[in-house]
């Protein structure tokens, strides 16, 4: 990290980071989208005007503001304006629907809710009206216009970076989402670690092709603020259409998760004699398993480096591959933790295990969340020494590199997003042609994992197709990204002899 980045990384709050960067390089671009550019100076100045407009609406320090917006310059401005006020913000992924959004609004006790209006054919304003009909929530549209006011009305920005000001949502192992509590300090720590691990510079041009509402959004923004380089934003990412913008703006760093690597590789294979993005030098990301062969194919065929990391909503930056590491480490591990991140591998009783031995992964460090909205769940996720219990299984090599080998949590990670198997199972159990079901994740080169529903039918039930299953789940309000991509109908689900519990590992072995 440069001296400047180190100094900026010591910032206690997001707004302090904005002000320091704006003072250093006010005219350098921060965000690029289509023909629009937002400089670091404009982030500060326009951010204050939006903050003043929000204050005129009634937003104050501690006010909970939920927002469900696509990846746009306006979205980032709104989020930073909320940090200027010291509000508590609850970002919601834009493709979530009534079930998840309603839970987030109720759980966070949001007083304001920003939506994009009708976006990609779905009326978010109408959904917001349905979900807030029984309680006082101010719904406002913030797609291409934002509140505006006189910054003179603003009090000084918040100075405490350890106060909880972020609520992110993750499905985890249960059918209901969990509200993950973060502070400015924890998110800045995660972004600082990411910036350091990737060895980027002020000459780079990044890209944000994933939802900014993901916890990776502020992670990435911190990296831009620390090093003073811009990122190209993609409101909707699809190949090959996105390639023109990558080429137009000379993007050097791209990625997001395993699915993104696969899409870039597919484009390279369509035109093996020409690079899809000539300026691209690094693919980076995390959030889903990365097959070693995918790493080797990207490096060999695209001629760029690939670094992959390990993170979660509770701890957005845990480990990251180093671009200067060995090919074996980059292909076969999740990288090493940064300074200040402790990884402890334990047995089922929480006792530490020696290096090289598989066990449960536990974490402690500045980037770890403050817990959950639910105090019971929050108490259960930390052990007596303050380590967060991840439920993931792996080991640490003598070199310090982390290798993940499985998960205790029954979740599926598809394109970097956690999907609760239980949520889908609970809905499928209501279907008249489903007797019992088990939903599992199966390895998939492009998505990391795909969702597979294995169904045991009751006597006399008619044939069941994947199209019927997905139509039913859509009607039940399940988000599109959680829909099964594969259906297997079996005579009987495998079960143990004691409690007749379904043995999912046998299903994964059978259908992988």
Q: 312 with 367: CB under 8 angstroms? A: no
The pLDDT of residue 430 is 85
**Is there a domain that residue 400 lies in?**
yes
| Whether residues 301 and 369 fall in one domain | yes
| Whether residues 461 and 391 fall in one domain | no
**Is there a domain that residue 221 lies in?**
no
| Whether residues 48 and 148 fall in one domain | yes
The pLDDT of residue 283 is 96
* Cis amide prior to 312 (ω within 30 degrees): no
**Is there a domain that residue 227 lies in?**
no
Distance CA 503, CA 172 (A): 20
| Whether residues 485 and 440 fall in one domain | yes
DSSP code string of 224-263? HHHHT--EEE-SS--TTTTHHHHHHHT--EEEESHHHHHH
Read off φ and ψ for residue 175, nearest 5 degrees. Answer: -75, -25
Distance CA 67, CA 114 (A): 4
Q: 155 with 161: CB under 8 angstroms? A: no
What is the pairing mode between strands 402-407 and 411-414? unpaired
* Alpha carbon distances (Å) from 180 to 90, 237, 290: 10, 26, 25
Measure the CA angle with vertex 179, ends 9 and 13; round to 5°: 20
Of 186, 203, 220, which residue constitutes the final position of a domain? Answer: 186
| Whether residues 276 and 253 fall in one domain | yes
Of 407, 430, 451, which residue constitutes the final position of a domain? Answer: 407
Q: 475 with 459: CB under 8 angstroms? A: no
Helix axes 216-227, 184-198, angle to 10 degrees: 60
**Is there a domain that residue 80 lies in?**
yes
Distance CA 239, CA 185 (A): 35
The two tokens of residue 271 are: 């035109």
C-alpha 319 chain-centroid distance: 15
The pLDDT of residue 10 is 53
Measure the CA angle with vertex 359, ends 354 and 365; round to 5°: 80
Q: 276 with 264: CB under 8 angstroms? A: yes
| Whether residues 11 and 40 fall in one domain | yes
Handedness of CA 79, 83, 85, 86 (dihedral sign): positive
**Is there a domain that residue 219 lies in?**
no
Distance CA 130, CA 126 (A): 6
Measure the CA angle with vertex 166, ends 227 and 449; round to 5°: 80
Which CATH number does the domain housing residue 424 bear? 3.30.300.30
Buried-state track 394-424, b at ≥16 Cβ within 10 A, e below 16:
bbbeeeebbbbeebebbbbbbbbbbbbbbbb
Handedness of CA 296, 298, 302, 304 (dihedral sign): negative
Distance CA 21, CA 375 (A): 37
Q: Which of 412, 413, 416 is nearest to 256 (CA)?
A: 416
Of 390, 407, 424, which residue constitutes the final position of a domain? Answer: 407
Read off φ and ψ for residue 341, nearest 5 degrees. Answer: -105, 115
Question: What is the enclosing helix (H) or strand (E) of 301?
Answer: none
| Whether residues 125 and 265 fall in one domain | no
What is the pairing mode between strands 388-396 and 448-456? unpaired
| Whether residues 358 and 482 fall in one domain | no
What is the pairing mode between strands 36-39 and 29-33? antiparallel
Distance CA 93, CA 75 (A): 12
Please provide the distance, in angstroms rounded to a whole number, between the alpha carbons at the two ends of the chain: 42
Measure the CA angle with vertex 467, ends 288 and 414; round to 5°: 5
Q: What SS3 class is residue 442?
A: strand
Q: What is the CA radius of gyration of the chain?
A: 23
**Is there a domain that residue 228 lies in?**
no
pLDDT tens digit at each of 512 positions of the chain: 555 555 555 568 999 999 999 999 999 999 999 999 999 999 999 999 999 999 999 999 999 999 999 999 999 999 999 999 999 999 999 989 998 899 999 999 999 999 999 999 999 999 999 999 999 999 999 999 999 999 999 999 999 999 999 999 985 434 578 999 999 999 999 999 988 899 999 999 999 999 999 999 999 999 999 999 999 999 998 899 999 999 999 999 998 888 788 889 989 999 999 999 999 999 999 877 787 888 999 999 999 999 999 999 999 999 999 999 999 999 999 999 998 899 999 998 999 999 999 899 999 999 999 999 999 999 999 999 999 999 888 899 999 999 987 677 677 888 888 787 888 988 998 899 998 899 999 999 888 999 999 999 988 899 999 999 999 999 999 999 999 999 999 999 997 544 466 888 889 999 98
The pLDDT of residue 128 is 98
**Is there a domain that residue 159 lies in?**
yes
| Whether residues 361 and 421 fall in one domain | no
**Is there a domain that residue 226 lies in?**
no
| Whether residues 150 and 33 fall in one domain | yes
| Whether residues 419 and 361 fall in one domain | no
- Structurally, how many domains does the chain consist of? 3
Which CATH number does the domain housing residue 96 bear? 3.40.50.980
The pLDDT of residue 173 is 37
SS (H, E, C) 381-436: HECCCCCEEEEEEEEECCCCCEEEEEECCCEEEECCEEEEHHHHHHHHCCCCCCCE
Distance CA 73, CA 209 (A): 13
| Whether residues 390 and 415 fall in one domain | no
Containing domain of residue 504, as a range?
411-511
Full-prediction pTM beyond 0.85?
Answer: no
Buried-state track 240-268, b at ≥16 Cβ within 10 A, e below 16:
eebeebbeebebbbbbbbbbbbbbbbebb
Q: What SS3 class is residue 165?
A: strand
The pLDDT of residue 498 is 40
Distance CA 128, CA 137 (A): 9
The pLDDT of residue 3 is 52
Q: Which of 206, 208, 171 is nearest to 279 (CA)?
A: 206
């Amino acid at each position: 990290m440069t001296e400047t980045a180190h100094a900026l990384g010591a910032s206690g709050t997001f707004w302090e980071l904005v002000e320091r960067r704006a003072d250093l390089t006010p005219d350098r671009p921060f965000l690029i989208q289509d023909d629009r550019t937002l400089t670091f100076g404009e982030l500060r100045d326009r951010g204050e005007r939006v903050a003043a407009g929000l204050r005129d609406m009634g937003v104050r320090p501690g006010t909970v503001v939920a927002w469900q917006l696509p990846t746009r310059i306006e979205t980032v401005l709104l989020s930073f304006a909320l940090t200027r006020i010291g509000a508590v913000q609850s970002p919601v992924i834009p493709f979530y629907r009534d079930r998840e959004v309603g839970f987030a609004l109720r759980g966070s006790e949001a007083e304001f809710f920003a939506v994009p209006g009708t976006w990609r054919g779905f009326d978010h304003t109408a959904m917001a009206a349905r979900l807030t009909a029984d309680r006082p929530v101010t719904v406002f549209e913030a797609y291409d216009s934002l509140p505006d006011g006189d910054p003179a009305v603003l009090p000084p920005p918040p100075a405490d970076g350890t106060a909880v000001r972020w609520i992110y949502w993750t499905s985890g192992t249960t059918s209901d989402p969990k509200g993950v509590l973060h502070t400015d300090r924890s998110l800045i720590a995660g972004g600082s670690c990411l910036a350091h691990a990737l060895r980027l510079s002020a000459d780079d041009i990044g890209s944000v092709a994933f939802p900014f509402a993901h916890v990776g959004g502020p992670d990435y923004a911190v990296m831009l603020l620390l090093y003073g380089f811009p990122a190209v934003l993609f409101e909707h990412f699809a190949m090959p259409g996105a390639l023109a913008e990558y080429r137009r703006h000379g993007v050097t760093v791209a990625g997001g998760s395993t699915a993104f690597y696969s899409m870039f590789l597919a484009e390279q294979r369509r035109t093996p004699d020409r690079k899809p993005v000539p300026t691209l030098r690094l693919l980076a990301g995390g959030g889903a398993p990365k097959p070693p062969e995918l790493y080797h194919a990207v490096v060999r065929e695209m001629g760029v480096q690939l670094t992959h990391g390990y993170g979660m909503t509770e701890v957005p930056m845990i480990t990251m591959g180093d671009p200067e590491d060995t090919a074996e480490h980059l292909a076969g591990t999740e990288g090493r933790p940064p300074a200040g991140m402790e990884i402890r591998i334990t047995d089922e009783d929480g006792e530490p295990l020696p290096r090289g031995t598989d066990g449960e992964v536990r974490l402690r460090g500045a980037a770890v969340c403050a817990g959950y909205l639910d105090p019971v769940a929050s108490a259960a996720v930390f052990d007596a020494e303050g380590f967060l219990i991840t439920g993931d299984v792996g080991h640490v090599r003598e070199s310090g590199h982390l290798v993940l080998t499985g998960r205790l949590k029954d979740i599926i990670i598809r394109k970097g997003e956690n999907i609760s198997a239980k949520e889908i199972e609970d809905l499928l159990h209501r279907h008249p042609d489903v007797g019992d079901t088990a939903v599992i994740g199966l390895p998939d080169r492009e998505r990391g994992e795909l969702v597979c529903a294995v169904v045991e039918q009751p006597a006399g039930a008619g044939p069941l197709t994947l199209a019927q299953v997905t139509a039913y789940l859509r009607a039940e309000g399940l988000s599109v990204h959680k829909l099964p991509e594969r259906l297997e109908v079996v005579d009987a689900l495998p079960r143990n002899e004691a409690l007749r519990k379904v043995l999912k590992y046998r299903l994964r072995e059978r259908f992988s």
